[in-house]
């Protein structure tokens, strides 16, 4: 790991996002033990900001404390992803519904900007940027829902969601192209304030990812979550 920390804001404000980004994009692989002293030496900082950054990563669900007192990068299991899907298939279509009803013109413009920057990023095959664009689009939908409790619940899942999204792109690299089309269908529904279409398109988007993941694991993909609740 190269030393990328420079002294401008607080060291924690630099160490935490750097380590988080490394974990999410695979620079620090799942299951790896994080040693404060080693990380501090690699980053050229004291152990204090590293220790605090690891604490924040634990709150994100990105690292796990072991019984022996050590800390390792979270390594999701199949059951974790199944449980995650059960939550996302309810929460994120719900966010899309309210985003369609409550989005502002400024939020629409930001979503549009995401799409305008995407083709160039994909042509460069910069998977790190693909992860970031994907995450930002989903964040915008949650923010546009204007529901702070819904935002809190989905935000708490961001850690494992980031691992899941990376797994899908590693399984099916071409998925980055079809994802854009699915995102655009969701965006168009939100723009048109068509809450039902926003819900349906988000649900389909999540189901495709889940089916790809299960198929890669040799499991018959069966979507069993009922999203027939009336809104």
pLDDT digits (tens, 9 = 90+) for 82-130: 999 999 999 999 999 999 999 999 999 999 998 877 765 565 466 677 7
- Sign (positive/negative) of CA torsion 23, 28, 34, 37? negative
C-alpha 220, offset from chain centre:
25
Is the pLDDT confidence value at 220 over 70? yes
pLDDT of residue 168: 86
Is the pLDDT confidence value at 204 over 70? yes
Report the predicted TM-score, pTM, of the whole model to 2 decimal places: 0.81
Is the pLDDT confidence value at 231 over 50? no
Tokens 């499991």 found at: 219
| Annotated domain spans of the chain | 11-73, 78-216
Q: pLDDT > 90: what percent of the chain?
A: 50
153 phi and psi angles, rounded to 5 deg: -65, -45
Quickly state the pLDDT bin for 11 (edges 50, 70, 90): confident
Fold of 11-73: Arc Repressor Mutant, subunit A (1.10.10)
Q: Strands of 63-65's sheet, edge to edge?
A: 33-34, 71-73, 63-65
Quickly state the pLDDT bin for 19 (edges 50, 70, 90): very high
The enclosing H or E element of 71 equals strand 71-73
Q: How high does pLDDT run on average in the chain?
A: 86
**What is the total residue count of the chain?**
231
The Cα–Cα gap between 10 and 34 comes to 21
The Cα–Cα gap between 38 and 50 comes to 10
The Cα–Cα gap between 187 and 191 comes to 6
| Burial class of residue 221 (count of CB atoms within 10 Å of its CB; 0-12, 13-18, 19+) | middle
Identity of the highest mean pLDDT range in 48-57, 70-79, 108-117, 193-202: 193-202
Fold of 78-216: 1.20.120
Is the pLDDT confidence value at 182 over 90? yes
pLDDT of residue 122: 60
């Amino acid at each position: 790991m190269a030393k990328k920390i420079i002294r401008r804001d607080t060291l924690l404000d630099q160490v935490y996002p750097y380590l988080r980004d490394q974990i999410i994009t695979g620079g620090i692989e799942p299951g790896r033990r994080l040693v404060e002293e080693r990380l501090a030496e690699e980053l050229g900082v004291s152990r204090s900001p590293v220790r605090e950054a690891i604490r924040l990563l634990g709150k994100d669900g990105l690292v796990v404390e072991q019984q022996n007192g050590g800390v390792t990068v979270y390594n999701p299991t199949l059951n974790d992803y199944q449980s995650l899907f059960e939550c996302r298939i309810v929460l994120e279509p719900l966010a899309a519904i309210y985003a369609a009803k409550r989005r502002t013109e400024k939020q629409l413009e930001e979503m549009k900007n995401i799409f305008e920057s995407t083709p160039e990023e994909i042509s460069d095959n910069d998977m790190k940027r693909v992860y970031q664009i994907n995450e930002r689009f989903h964040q915008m939908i949650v923010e546009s829902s204007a529901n702070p409790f819904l935002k809190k619940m989905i935000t708490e899942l961001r850690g494992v969601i980031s691992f899941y999204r990376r797994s899908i792109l590693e399984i099916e690299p071409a998925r980055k192209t079809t994802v854009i089309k699915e995102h655009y269908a969701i965006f168009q529904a939100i723009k048109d304030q068509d809450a039902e279409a926003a819900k349906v398109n988000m649900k389909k988007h999540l189901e495709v990812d889940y089916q790809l993941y299960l198929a890669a694991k040799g499991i018959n993909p069966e979507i069993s979550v009922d999203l027939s609740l009336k809104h």
